[in-house]
Structure 1
C-alpha cells in the first residue's frame, strides 16, 4: 500500500486527502489548524501533529498550500519536507505557485534524492469533493506514471504537460481563462437583468450554444442568487492572477484581457471582498454600474 503524507487540509486539500483515503491509500494529514486535522481523522485518515510525523517513512508527500512562499518554506525549510522525508520519496506540490518557484524546488529536491512534481489543480471545491479535478503535471514522465494512481483518486483529467514548472504555467493560463469567463458571465447577468430578462432562463438558452462553458453551467446559478459562499476565494484568485501577470511579463507576452481581469479581481479584494467566492466579481460589476 502506498503511504501518503498530505500537508494542507483546506477547502481543496481536505476533500482531496479524504478521497485518497476512500481509494484505499494510507494517508497521514497535517494542517496548522488542528480542527481541519480532526475533520480529516473523522473521514478515516491519520492525523499528524507535525510535518515530520506527516512525512516520515511516506512514499509520496503532497502539499496543497496557499502561495509560493508557503510551499518553498514547507519543502526547503529546516523543519520542512526534505528535512524529514526518506530519500527516494516523491514530493508532489498541488498548490498554485510561481513556475520559477516550482523549478527551484524541483532542482533542490532532485539534488537531495527526491522525485518532484508540480501538479496544480482546477475544478474548485466541487471538483475536489467529487474527485473530478483537472490535474496539470510538470516533471519527469516516469515519476508522473508512478503518481498516476494517486492522481486518479483525486481527478478525472490528468495530463503531463511538460518538465518542472510546466504544470504551474498551464495553471496560470487556466486562471486567466477562468477569470475572464467569470467576468464575462457577471457582466452578462447584470446586462440581462437591466433589460428585464430573467437571467436563469437566459442562461439555459446560452448554455446550449457557443457561449456555453463550465462557468456558465456550474457558477452562474449561484451568481444569479448572489450566493458568494467561497468555493474558491477571490483573494486566492487574485494571488493566482498576480502569478500570471508576473510570468507573462517575464516571458515578454502581452495579455490585455488577463491584465484587465487581474485588475478587477484586485479591486474586489481591495474593497474588502477577498473572502467571498471569485464569482463576487458580479458584485463589483453591479457597483460599477450603479445598481
Structure 2
C-alpha cells in the first residue's frame, strides 16, 4: 500500500481520498477549510496543516483543485507540491484544467524528479462516493502503470489516452458532451411539460431508447423536481466550457452546438445560478420559454 498525500478535499476530492483509505492506503490530506480535513480524519485518514506537510513523505500525491491557477499555485508555488515532494514521487492531478497547464506542470515535475499524470475524472459526486469514476489519463506509460493501484481505488473506467495534456483534452470533450446533453434533456423536459405529458413516464421511456444517456438517468428526476443541490456546480462547468472553447480555437475548430450551450451556461452563471448543480441549466431553458 502507498503513502498518499491528497490536496483538495471538496465534493469530489473528499470521497476519493476516503476511498483510498478504504483500499488500505495511508492518506494524509490537506484542504483550506478544516472541516473537510476533519471529515477525512473521521474516515480514517490523517490531517496535514499545509501542502508541504501533506506531500513531504508521500509516494503518490493527488491534487483535486478547481481551476488552472489553483493547480499552478499549489503545485508550482514557492512552498507547493514540487518544492516539497521527494524525488521519485508520482503526482496525479485529477483537477479539470487547461491542457497546456498540465503539460507545463509535467515539465516542471520532471525537472524535480517527480513523474506527473493529468488524470481528470468524470461521474460527479455519486461516482466519487462509489469509487466508480471514469478517469482519462495523460502522461508517460510507466507513470500510468505506477498509478494503477491507487486509480483502481477511485475509478472503474481508467484509460491511458496519451501524453501529458491528453487527459485534459479528453475531459474537455467530456464536458462538451455533458453540457450539450443537459441542455437537450432540459429542452425535452420543458417540451413534455408544455404538452401536459407525465414527465416521469416520458423520461422513463426516453431513457430506455436511443435517447437514453447517463446524463438523462442521473439528472432527470432532480430536473423534474427543480432540485439543484450541487453535485457539480454550474460555475465549474462554465470554467470547463471556457477550456473547451479555447482548445477548439487552438485547433482551428468551430463547435457551433458547444458555443451555444456555452452561452447558456454563461448566462446562468451571470444571473446568479453558478452555485447550483449544472442541471440547473434547466432554469435558463424555462426562462427562455417564459415558463418560470
Quickly name the TM-score band, shorter chain normalised: over 0.9
Structure 1 residue aligned with 2:210: 210
Cα deviation, 1:21-77, whole Å, max 9, x if unaligned, reads: 000000000000011101111111101011111001110000000000000111111
Cα deviation code 1:188-217 (max 9, x no counterpart) = 000000000011100111111100000111
What is residue 196 of structure 2 aligned with on the other side? 196
Q: Which residue of 1 aligns with 2:289?
A: 289
Q: Does 1:97 align with 2:108?
A: no
Q: 1 CA distance for matches of 2:35 and 2:215?
A: 31
Normalising by structure 1, we get a TM-score of 0.99
Match of 1:20 in 2: 20
- The 5 A counterparts of 1:1-291 are 1-291=1-291
Kindly provide the CA deviation profile for residues 235-287 of structure 1, in whole angstroms up to 9, marking residues without a partner as x: 00000000110111011111111111111000000000000000011111111
TM norm structure 2? 0.99
Give secondary structure in 1 for the equivalent of 2:4: strand
State how far apart, in whole Å, the 2-side matches of 1:31 and 1:128 are.
Answer: 17
CA distance in structure 1 between the aligned counterparts of 2:176 and 2:52, rounded to whole angstroms = 36
Q: Following the alignment from structure 1 to structure 2, what is the Cα–Cα distance between the partners of residues 227 and 112?
A: 46
Q: Deviations over 1:149-199 (max 9, x none)?
A: 100000010000000000000000000000000000000000000000011
The Cα RMSD (Å) is 0.5
Distance 1:199 1:144 in 2: 44
Secondary structure of the 1:57 match is coil
SS class of match (1:157): strand
Q: Equivalents in 2 of 1:135, 1:51: separation in Å? A: 24
**Cα offset for 1:16?**
0.3
Q: How far apart, in 2, do the equivalents of 1:194 and 1:174 lie?
A: 30
**Alpha-carbon distance between aligned partners in 2 of 1:267 and 1:162, rounded to the nearest angstrom:** 34
Please state how far the C-alpha of 1:100 moved relative to its aligned partner. Answer: 0.3
Matched residue SS, 1:83: helix
For this pair of structures, how many residues does the alignment match? 291
SS at match of 1:113: coil
Is the partner of 1:219 in helix, strand or coil?
helix
SS at match of 1:241: helix
Q: Distance in 2 between matches of 1:259 and 1:79?
A: 39
The whole-number CA distance in structure 2 between the counterparts of 1:191 and 1:240 is 27
Aligned counterparts of 2:283 and 2:193: Cα–Cα separation in 1: 13
Q: State the alpha-carbon separation in 2 of the partners of residues 70 and 218 from structure 1.
A: 29
